[in-house]
Amino acid sequence: MGYLYLIIPYIIFLFGWTKYYISIPLILVLLIVLFLMIKNTISNYNIVYKINLLVFILILFIIVSFIVVFGIGEIFPQSIDMRRGRNALFRDLINFSWPIIYPKNGYGVVYYFAHWLVPSLFGKLFGLKVGLFTLILWSSFGILIFFILMINFLNIKDNKYIIVSLFIFTFFGFIPQFAGGIYIEYASMSLQISHLFNQSIAIWIMCMLFLYQKNSSNFAFLGLSIVFYSPYAIIGILPYMLVKLIIDIKSNKLIEFKNIFSIENILSTISIFPILFLYLSSIDTMSDGFEILITKHNYIILFINYLLSFGILMILLYQNNKNNYIFYTSIFVFIFVSMIRYSQDHNFSRTNLTAVFFLSFLLIEYFYKNMNIKSIKKNIIILLFIFVSYKNIIYFENQISLFIEIGISNDNNIVKKTFNENTKNDWILRTITCQDIDNSIFFKYIAKNKK
């Protein structure tokens, strides 16, 4: 199910946005890739994980509750970025024919909107409210897939800890986000659900599927399928793939070289990379470029930032992970991301969402393996978790309080309802459109013609 969750939006995109003589062959190739991967999964991971029905229902209830309370579905209050941009994009996906070229400004929509494609398709067919309801279901289903993959991977059998691990994951967070005036985002899981769900949920699934991989034969699919959810995610997962590849090559060179050039990798690259590269590279902010921050940091403050954000927890988890490449690679990703800025915002920080995920995963693993062990280190980690999760718990409580006070959100609470407007020099509009479609290879030769 994880593989399907990652690729279904791209298949819809191919069918809805590109010419049929391009989309149909590529979709057939992707179906072959899915068949091969699912076949190999069944043969290599034929493990039945049993879960109590009542526990499963409780998990589903908690997930849906978190999804709704954190603002997905426009029932509870939402972040400003949702109200001034993402809700508008979701409505445009519903209200305009695909590919979207706005009549008032002639701009073509270019964005990593995979998470909204399935719900927007239902919205096209049955209206906005059904689309929003489907968005809740799609988001909840994604978290359920990731969570089942995780508890199965960790082989968690204790029903109480299954529920506890869900709360640990949801409220896991960090302390500071600034390093001498330079903003470095370490997005807590609560923030990811409320603010970055269109990227994060698929990233969690991708990370779990990566942990299940016995070799590199599916790496191209995992890395490329996540790009349509978040282009930053492929940069975030690439170091882990490279380190695992090096480890596997040392163990068995010939077989691993064969896995690198597997049919799944080759066909995934052919069917996903060219289309998404030409599409996403046509965005108007593509030329904004990267900025290296190595010479701009105050390294004393940056070190304190590292220590408080992830360093203390990493030190405490070291003994249990000293032979775990995931542990060391996560440290590298955190440091690497803090040295780069892209465009005018801090979005490149979201490259570290993979490292954030793996750190929360290691924490859940530690608590489960030491569930019945009493130690000073465990008590310190518990206190640290309580401290960093406090802000997220308060945010959850505030969401409920605001809902009680103002009721269900409505269209009046949405700052922007569409990007179909004649606004010029709007930076947000630049981040989601190609403003020169006549010179875009994708819109000229690949996208369906607009009549």
| pLDDT tens digits for range 67-94 | 999 989 888 888 877 877 788 899 999 9
* pLDDT of res. 147: 95
Give percent above pLDDT 90 in the chain.
47
What sign for the dihedral angle of Cα 138, 143, 146, 151?
negative
Res. 136: pLDDT tops 90: yes
Taking the C-alpha atoms of residue 5 and residue 204, their distance in angstroms, rounded to an integer, is 11
How far is the first Cα of the chain from the last one, in angstroms, to the nearest whole number?
37
pLDDT band of residue 54 (cuts 50, 70, 90) is: very high
Q: Phi first, then psi: give them for residue 101, nearest 5 degrees.
A: -125, 115
Res. 141: pLDDT tops 80: yes
If DSSP states are collapsed to H, E and C, what string results for 181-203?
CEECCCCCHHHHHHHCHHHHHHH
pLDDT band of residue 412 (cuts 50, 70, 90) is: low
* pLDDT of res. 257: 79
Lowest-confidence pick of 115-119, 234-238, 300-304: 300-304
Contact (Cβ atoms closer than 8 angstroms) between residue 143 and residue 38: no
Res. 146: pLDDT tops 80: yes
Token pair in block for residue 44: 């290599």
Res. 177: pLDDT tops 70: no
3-state secondary structure of 290: strand
| pLDDT tens digits for range 303-341 | 888 888 888 999 999 999 999 999 999 999 988 888 877
Compute the residue count for the chain. 451
Res. 104: pLDDT tops 60: yes
* pLDDT of res. 178: 59
Rounded alpha-carbon distances, angstroms, from residue 386 to 93, 261, 314, 315, 318 = 40, 46, 16, 17, 20
